[in-house]
């Protein structure tokens, strides 16, 4: 029986095969945040010198990438990336995701938007029929905390401030429990439209292109 850590390692290793296919001196790889992304970063170390560099979705990942000798580029200096590799807190069969458990959702969404393909890496426990059991993280500008919380409560959620946490962008996170998400794209658009919301942790507009889900019997691959 493989542990969750071993399953995450399998998913990270599977993503490295995608990097192998595109590696070239001018190629930049987008890199996510979290414990699964950390394992991917550790494996990516072997590509130092074979790719132009990486773009990180958080200060945490940037430090880990740099510690492996990988170049970390400013997104403003990068026009395109073939791949963005990241984990998820929940993913459904449409490859829609909830992300932001690590609080890096905004930069994750920005970096992913520049990449041609989003490869989601996770253990199979992240695959759900309906998203919402994992409280939906929302990055909010501090002065809008209560105004946004009231709007989210009106949608049926129970907002909770992530105590003691400030994002890399200097904002707060509201985690919204109690949502049963039937229209992820609609909800993403609606929440993103609330004044004071920087980004909602739904990734449905678009979602991932490929999910590499580690199971006890190997990698299960889902494609959009
Ligand atoms: C961070 C994220 C992560 O991808 C998500 O929380 C999954 O993390 P892990 O790989 O540790 O389970 O969105 O903001």
Radius of gyration of the chain (CA): 17
Residues 209 and 176 reside in one and the same domain: no
Where do runs of H (alpha helix) occur along the chain?
Answer: 4-22, 35-44, 59-67, 105-114, 145-154, 184-192
Average confidence (pLDDT) over 138-147: 98
Q: Which residues are catalytic?
A: 108
- Beta carbons within 10 angstroms of residue 93's beta carbon: 10
Closest CA to 203 of 98, 83, 123, 90: 98
Residues 157 and 192 reside in one and the same domain: yes
Average confidence (pLDDT) over 157-178: 98
Pair type for strands 81-86 and 115-123: parallel
Q: Mean pLDDT for the chain?
A: 97
Does the predicted TM-score (pTM) go above 0.85?
yes
Residues 158 and 58 reside in one and the same domain: no
What distance in Å separates the CA atoms of residue 79 and residue 199, rounded to the nearest whole number?
A: 22
Distances, alpha carbon 17 to alpha carbons 12, 120, 182, in Å: 9, 13, 33
CATH code of the domain covering residue 34? 3.40.50.1360
Residues 194 and 212 reside in one and the same domain: no
Residues 146 and 159 reside in one and the same domain: yes
- CA 79 – ligand 1 centroid, Å: 25
- CA 98 – ligand 1 centroid, Å: 9
**Ligand 1 site, CB within 6 A:** 32-37, 86-89, 99-105, 108
For residue 144, what are the domain limits? 136-201
Which atom of ligand 1 is least distant from the CA of 103? 14
Residues 18 and 110 reside in one and the same domain: yes
Average confidence (pLDDT) over 205-222: 98
Q: What percent of the chain has pLDDT over 70?
A: 100
What letter would DSSP give residue 121?
E
Closest CA to 85 of 39, 140, 52: 39
Residue 172 parent element (H or E): strand 172-177
Average confidence (pLDDT) over 6-32: 98
Number of structural domains in the chain: 2
What would the pLDDT profile of 81-119 be if each residue is shown by its tens digit? 999 999 999 999 999 999 999 999 999 999 999 999 999
Nearest CA owner, ligand 1 atom 8: 34
CATH code of the domain covering residue 149? 3.30.70.260
- CA 12 – ligand 1 centroid, Å: 13
What would the pLDDT profile of 117-139 be if each residue is shown by its tens digit? 999 999 999 999 999 999 999 99
49 is in an annotated binding site: no
Residue partners of 125: CB distance under 8 A and separation at least 6: 4
180, pLDDT greater than 90: no
- Beta carbons within 10 angstroms of residue 73's beta carbon: 16
Q: Which two three-digit tokens encode residue 69? A: 């000798």
Which atom of ligand 1 is least distant from the CA of 101? 6
167, pLDDT greater than 90: yes
Residues 92 and 187 reside in one and the same domain: no
Which atom of ligand 1 is least distant from the CA of 33? 1
Closest CA to 121 of 217, 199, 215, 52: 215
């Amino acid at each position: 029986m493989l542990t969750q850590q071993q399953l995450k390692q399998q998913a990270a290793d599977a993503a490295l095969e995608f990097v192998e296919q595109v590696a070239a001196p001018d190629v930049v790889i987008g890199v996510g945040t979290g414990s699964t992304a950390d394992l991917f970063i550790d494996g990516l170390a072997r590509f130092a010198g074979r790719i132009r560099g990486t773009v990180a979705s958080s200060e945490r990942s940037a430090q880990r990438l740099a510690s492996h000798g990988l170049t970390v580029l400013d997104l403003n200096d990068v026009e395109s990336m073939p791949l963005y590799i990241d984990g998820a807190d929940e993913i459904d069969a449409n490859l829609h995701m909830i992300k932001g458990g690590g609080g890096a959702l905004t930069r994750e969404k920005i970096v992913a938007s520049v990449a041609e393909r989003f490869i989601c890496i996770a253990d199979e426990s992240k695959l759900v029929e309906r998203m919402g059991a994992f409280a939906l993280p929302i990055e909010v500008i501090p002065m809008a905390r209560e105004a946004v919380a009231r709007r989210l409560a009106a949608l049926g959620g129970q907002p909770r401030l992530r105590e003691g946490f400030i994002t890399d962008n200097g904002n707060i996170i509201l985690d919204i429990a109690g949502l049963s998400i039937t229209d992820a794209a609609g909800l993403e658009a609606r929440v993103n439209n609330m004044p004071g919301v920087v980004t909602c942790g739904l990734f449905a507009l678009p979602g991932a292109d490929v999910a590499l889900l580690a199971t006890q019997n190997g990698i299960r691959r889902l494609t959009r």
